[in-house]
Amino acid sequence: MADVNETTHGLLQELRRGTIILGVLSQMAEPRYGYSLVPLLEEKGIAVDAGTLYPLLRRLEKQGLLNSEWDTNEARPRKYYVRSPFGQQVYDALRDEWRSMNRSMESLMNEDEGGSNDGAH
C-alpha cells in the first residue's frame, strides 16, 4: 500500500510546478534579478529555491515570455528580467484561467465538504 505522505508529496510537487510559473510571471511587471524573487515569493507563501528559479527564468526567457538585461554598474553584475509584451499576453491568459479553475475547484471542494466522500451525492 502506498504511503500517504509520499504520495501527497509527489502530487504537491506536480501542483507547485505550474503555480511557480504563474507566481514568477506575476512578479515580473518590473525588472527584477533572479534572487530578489526568492524572498518576494516566500513572503507570499510560495517557497522556491534558486536551483529551481534560475533554470525557470532562463526557460521563460527562451520561450519569449521574459526579456533580460545585464546590470554591470554594481560590484556584482546582475541579470534583470521583465515580462515581454508576449509574456504579458500569456500571463493575462494564464491568470484568467487560474482564476476560473480556482472558482471551479472551490465549488467542487465545497460540495465535497457538504456531502460524503464516496462520490454518492
The predicted-structure confidence for 39-48, as pLDDT tens digits, reads as follows 999 999 999 9
Residue 7's pLDDT is 92
Indicate whether 53 pLDDT > 70. yes
Indicate the Cα dihedral angle 48, 51, 54, 56, nearest 10°: -70
> Percent of the chain scored above 70 by pLDDT?
93
| 3-state DSSP assignment of residue 72 | coil
Indicate whether 30 pLDDT > 60. yes
Residues 6 or more apart in contact with residue 22 via CB below 8 angstroms: 91, 94, 95, 98
What pTM value is reported for the model? 0.83
CATH of domain 17-106: 1.10.10.10
* DSSP structure class, residue 45: T
Residues 6 or more apart in contact with residue 25 via CB below 8 angstroms: 60, 65, 83, 87, 90, 91, 94
Candidates 65, 63, 69, 52; CA nearest to 95 is: 65
Q: How far apart are CA 69 and CA 81, in angstroms?
A: 7
Residue 74's pLDDT is 85
List, for residues 71-113, the tens digit of each pLDDT value: 999 889 999 999 999 999 999 999 999 999 999 999 999 988 8
